[in-house]
Amino acid sequence: MPKRSDMRRSKKRPPAAAERSAKPADTAKEPLYLKLVQAIKQEIKNGRAPIGSLLPSEVELSRHHAVSRHTVREALRHLRAEGLVAPRKGAGTTVVNSAASNPYVHEVASIEQLVQYATGTQYEVGTSKLVRADTELASRLGCAEGEEWMRIEGLRYAPGQTAPICWTEVYIHADYTNVLRMIGRRSGPIYAWIEDMHGEHINEIEQVLSARDVPGGISKKLGVKAGSMGIELRRTYRLDTGKIAEIAFNLHPAHRFRYAMTLRRNQGG
């Protein structure tokens, strides 16, 4: 019988194991939970797991994909973070959005970039009408009750994309409603038309981001489930006098929106 020391010396590592250890780190296998994420995304994309449907339970996913329940939970956590699924109390995990669309990156940090955004996207108007602000609308717009505004609503699209970026609802003060005739004839932001046609000067644009549910009527137009998470970007345009000339609400599906802003120090700061 060979000695234990001889056995250790004669023991050789299998070639396959040697090859695996020689591979660089960037060729390591993809984590199992990410493979499961991609598999579920494909189910959603192909319509086998449509919006509103329930995913199989953790146990069923574990058995079907031959992975641990820990792997399943990690994959579901990843899908929730992307806004594709959401837990429903007493029901399980529900598909709330499609995995087919890529996020739209919104990067506006100056008035000049806002002009580029308006020029580089297409706003398709659905309806427009003159409205008088009641208590609820006055509170939403930050104006006095009884003020008249031109309300315009529609969808905004990025070049080459069929899915809309957002639902856009614009309120133009009644003093400037004649700019409505420029929509479809001229590119650029509406506030610039107010400046050109009325000799006004927009001195300040306030931006506020907030989370809200996507209402049923709008959700169909955006291709998401009613009540799913949305990001609303509100812009208020004020003249030198402080008067509000325009207010715009842009409602984005949360999983298709990312806001980017770069901050720089002032010289000498």
DSSP calls for 73-139: HHHHHHHHHTTSEEEETTTEEEE-S-TTSPPEEE---SHHHHHHHHHHSEEEEEEEEEEE--HHHHH
Q: If you average pLDDT over every residue of the chain, what do you get?
A: 80
In 3D space, the residue among 124, 121, 123, 98 whose CA is nearest the CA of residue 108 turns out to be 121
pLDDT at residue 195 above 70? Answer: yes
What 3 state SS string does 71-86 have? HHHHHHHHHHHCCCEE
pLDDT tens per residue across span 149-185: 999 999 988 877 788 889 999 999 999 999 988 876 7
Domain annotation for the chain: domains and CATH numbers: 14-95 (1.10.10.10), 104-259 (3.40.1410.10)
Confidence at 31, pLDDT banded by 50, 70, 90: confident
pLDDT at residue 264 above 90? Answer: no
pLDDT tens per residue across span 53-96: 999 999 999 999 999 999 999 889 878 877 788 888 777 898 88
* 98 or 219, greater pLDDT: 219
pTM: 0.59
Express as a percent the part of the chain with pLDDT over 90: 41
Confidence at 102, pLDDT banded by 50, 70, 90: low
Other C-beta atoms closer than 10 Å to the C-beta of 115 total 16
